Chains A and B, each alone.
Chain A
Amino acid sequence: MRTDFAFVGVMLVTAALLMGVALIAASLLRPKKPSKAKLETYECGMETVGDTWVQFRVQYYVIALVFVLFDIEAILLFPIAVAFNSLTFFAVANVALFVIVLLIALLYAWRKGALDWE
């Protein structure tokens, strides 16, 4: 099983090499005439004003957090789903309880307006 992942590693390395070769070939073929105007940050011809560091909405953070929680939920459910056929009804009822508690969390977030994107 450990060896099953060997091909994934080989694939990662091969893909990186092939794409790297494409990038290097392109850098050899293409012209390279940089000028000051070309290297400016592109904002539809306007000169860029201020820092790129604009303050982000806290909404992004809340969405990411809700995502983390549901990601963890789904990942815990996967091994249970694999074992599903051999589970007793009691166990399945507990899984349903687990899932429904999370659904309540989602509904709470919904009611508090954390999921609204204004």
Chain B
Amino acid sequence: MNFINDLLKIIGDFIAGIINSIFGFSPFLADLVTMGLAAIILCTFAALSFMGLTYVERKVVARIQDRVGPNQAGPFGLLQPIADGIKMFTKEDTTPAAADRWVYNLAPLVIAVFALTTYAVLPFAPGVVGTNLNVGVFFIIAIGSGSIVAIIMAGWGSNNKYALLGAFRTVAQLVGYEVPMLLNVLPVVMITGSLGLVDIINQQTTLNGNPGIPFIVFFPFSALVFLISGIAETARSPFDLLEAESEIVAGFHIEYSGMKFALFFLGEYVNALAVAFVFSTLFLGGYAGPVLPPYIWLLLKAAVVFFIFMWLRGTLPRIRVDQMHNLNWKFFVPVSIVHLVVVMVLMKLFVTSPALAQANGGILVTPAAQAAILFVASTLVLIGSLTVAARRARIMRLQEEAVLEQRRAENIAAVSA
């Protein structure tokens, strides 16, 4: 056993061994304590990464926008998250008199709990996973519904027009982008034949005995749409119109302050990091990688994905609500469906295993050839759809400009008359 590579697993087994020897009288109790401890470790990991990410994100976005970012607390502002934490704990926290107290106070708890539960199924290294559900991918997307419920609770519980309006905008966005997410996980599930995250990683590690290829090569279209939908699902910039400070003053969490606000913030970051982990797992091969230990690979990949999130946040302006809906319902969903059909047919035509070729027909190809065919098809769908969309967008822009021009001419005529 390679000590460095299996470090996490060895530590985990060691702790589980100690617990088993203490609670030897009852295997049930031993299991419960082990699971509880694992859950506490995962929650702590998520909370600590939340604190770290707030600092990193502020620094990176500041650098992109040619600012300095936090630099007062400690060297390079490194103590900023701790200062923020102290502030969150000691800040006065009001419940508006008009609020529905129960719903209002439960909402932050619900959002944080569901965000943290996502980590229960993420595989961090071979054998290091909270629980290897056989419906893993499905579970992650489903547990996201919990935060939708929490947002509605927050919006309604606050009894504030802005909060309710913000909550509704948010929910319309979150439910909408769940559809392309689901549709673009499907190709990955088809090629793996399993919903389990560990199976998906194994498939990318070895393909019928050959070294595996990450699924981003098979389905670049799915990877791109999944990534963008993921950003929209976590309501990060440029999809942060639900908390547009300048329009609806922070949206659904307008009335929240102190620790409850912190929990919303935690939910947001933990979800975003989970999306980065899931994207790395589904499309970049998860913890698989040469030389370095697996958990380092996973963290590296997730860090790269999260850096893309920060980069987009620092660069792009917020999109309008109609643009957001158009992008989803008029581009992502229909093109994803077309892509799905293309991929389905191609994967049935070109199969990699002789047994399947014999059973169902189809042309026998090597895994690399199949990857190449799917890559070309997926890229063609991507480029083709982008071309059509760009052309349509140009026509619509010209029409809009013509209307504006006409209006201007009418105004001039009215003034001069």
Contacts and interface: CB of A to CB of B under 8 A. Distances in A.
A and B touch in the complex (CB under 8 A): yes
B156 to A, nearest CB: 8
Contacts of A116: 322
A20 B161 contact: no
Majority secondary structure, A binding face: helix
Contacts of B195: 78, 82
Given A8-B133, A16-B113, A40-B96, A115 B330 contact: yes
Contact of A26 (B109, B131, B259, B326): B259
Interface in A49-98: 52, 54, 56, 60, 63-64, 66-67, 70-71, 74-75, 77-78, 81-89, 92, 95-96
Given A15-B39, A92-B348, A41 B325 contact: no
Query: Taking chain B's interface residues, is the majority helix, strand, or loop, or is none over half, making it mixed?
Result: helix
Nearest to B98: A41
Contacts, number: 222
Contacts of B92: 30-33
Interface string A18-51: 1110110111011111101011111110001000
Interface in B330-358: 330, 333-334, 337-338, 340-341, 344-345, 347-348, 353, 356
| Size class of the contact patch on chain A | 35 or more
Given A26-B258, A82-B195, A18 B131 contact: no
Contacts of A8: 117, 120-121, 131, 133, 139
A64 B35 CA distance: 37
Contacts of B360: 86-89
Contacts of B362: 89
Nearest to B173: A63
Contacts of A13: 39
B341 A99 contact: yes
Given A14-B40, A54-B161, A42 B186 contact: no
Given A41-B160, A78-B189, A110 B322 contact: no
A116 to B, nearest CB: 8
8 closest A-B pairs by beta carbon, nearest first, are A26-B259, A14-B39, A74-B182, A7-B131, A15-B116, A39-B97, A11-B120, A81-B189
